[in-house]
Structure 1
Amino acid sequence: MKKYFVTGLLIWIPLVITLMVLAWIVNTLDQILLIAPAAVRPDALLGFHLPGVGVLVTLLLILITGLAAANFVGQRLVGFWESLLSRIPVVKSIYYSVKQVSDTLLSSNGQAFRKALLIQYPHQGIWTIAFQTGKPGGDAARHLGDDFVSVYVPTTPNPTSGFFLMLPRKDAIELDMSVDDALKYIISMGVVAPPSPPGSALHSSAALLNR
């Protein structure tokens, strides 16, 4: 009975948590429609509440914004908007700080979270997985030189918090592991192990066992 109960928990817990997260996202995005005039809200137009309309409206708005910003006129409007924000003291600092981080993380040309690394942290002999975020910049680069890398060490099971470190490149081992697999490994606290790379001893042993 205990084995069956645990098996049932392993099936229901991920499903319930996933549904709770999706419900929170849908409800949060639906709140965006509350800023629209009452006459044009979906509830007033349809005569009943339809969950998930906020998700569709948000995705449509993001898509239209991206299409508009891809042409010459849209780029001029974005430039005008950013120049306007740059004249507001407090808003300028917040906006450009967030913009630099988002451009680095989401841009296809950025180098953030492109590599999974194996480093010794918090002291020698203790190993953990980190992500390369670039190179030291500013005055730190002048003191450290070119042989250092900037890494982010996420915490478990919440990878959105962690530690920013600058360490010698020779102390970081680049892993043959995708960023997605590394994140799953961290979030699962080591339970969901990534597959062994082809050609390794573990990969060969697993192939023999599966025959």
Structure 2
Amino acid sequence: MPLKKYLLTGLLVWLPLAITIWVLLWLMGLLDGIVIGVISGLQAITSDSVVTLLERFKHIPGLGVVLVFGGLLVTGALVSNVAGRWWLLQWDRLLTRIPVFKSIYNSVKKVSDTLFSSNGNAFRTALLVQYPRPGMWTIAFQTGAPSGEVAEQLGSDFVSVYVPTTPNPTSGFFLMLPRSDVIELKMSVDEALTYVISMGSVAPASLTGHLPK
């Protein structure tokens, strides 16, 4: 039926845009809520004139996004020089001396440094791996190579990979596989993520190659 076909085609056109806008509005609302909470806290400890000034800021939409973006930009600029890096080192030393807190902070910092470092290799390569059993293939991302005691036990010819779940790639499985058991793909990480999220319905043209027997 043409009517059903037109409706589905229109849905495919507008659905990605609607979801994107919804996610951005949710994120903006979340950040605005945090900023409003901080402003409300400041109002409780400041004078009446400052309270009146802060009250005006509470009603500015998108203020949280602007403040977070500005804060990240200023922080990045400050720690890009020698003096900024020295203060960052002192900050890290202070945080890593707090019991319990230091364990969480160190773990998160190591992961973020690995993922977002410009000279890191995490999530820079898409792979094909056999999972959850031989003969079944899925998309994975190389996160590095085993090190320390694990490398001593396994040997040097292993790679660390992350196998994402679909359609939510933020959860998955961490595996260490022989390098000979993985196939490096030519597709970009973005293309591979699209392939995973779409559950295989959007296959990049670069998904070529021969699977090992």
TM-score by length of 2: 0.87
Gap regions ≥5 residues in structure 2: 44-49
Q: Secondary structure at the match of 2:100?
A: helix
| Identical pairs, percent | 59
The answer to whether the aligner puts 1:110 opposite 2:120 as a matched pair is: yes
| 1:55–1:125 CA distance, 2 compared to 1 (3 A) | same
CA shift, 1:125, in A, is 0.9
| 1:63–1:57 CA distance, 2 compared to 1 (3 A) | same
Q: Secondary structure at the match of 1:128?
A: strand
| 1:89–1:43 CA distance, 2 compared to 1 (3 A) | closer
CA contact (8 A) 1:119 1:129 kept: yes
Partner deviation per Cα, 1:162-188 (whole Å, 9 max, x = no partner): 000001000001111111110111111
The answer to whether the aligner puts 1:26 opposite 2:52 as a matched pair is: no
The answer to whether the aligner puts 1:132 opposite 2:142 as a matched pair is: yes
CA shift, 1:195, in A, is 2.4
Distance 2:68 2:14 in 1: 30
Q: Secondary structure at the match of 2:176?
A: strand
Partner deviation per Cα, 1:61-106 (whole Å, 9 max, x = no partner): 1111111111222112111111111111211101110000000000
Among 12, 24, 29, the residue aligned to 1:10: 12
Q: Secondary structure at the match of 1:89?
A: coil
Partner deviation per Cα, 1:123-165 (whole Å, 9 max, x = no partner): 1111111000011123211110011100000000100000000
Distance 1:59 1:43 in 2: 20
The answer to whether the aligner puts 1:159 opposite 2:159 as a matched pair is: no
Distance 1:75 1:110 in 2: 19
TM-score by length of 1: 0.87
Q: Secondary structure at the match of 1:88?
A: coil
CA shift, 1:119, in A, is 0.9
Among 187, 192, 195, the residue aligned to 2:205: 195
Distance 1:41 1:152 in 2: 51
Gap regions ≥5 residues in structure 1: 202-211
Alignment RMSD:
2.0
Among 66, 69, 74, the residue aligned to 2:84: 74
CA contact (8 A) 1:26 1:55 kept: yes
Distance 1:117 1:103 in 2: 22
CA shift, 1:13, in A, is 2.0
| 1:2–1:95 CA distance, 2 compared to 1 (3 A) | same
Among 150, 156, 160, the residue aligned to 1:146: 156
Q: Secondary structure at the match of 1:153?
A: strand
Among 167, 176, 183, the residue aligned to 1:173: 183
Q: Secondary structure at the match of 1:119?
A: strand
CA contact (8 A) 1:116 1:175 kept: yes
Structure 1 runs (4+) greater than 6 angstroms displaced: 40-43
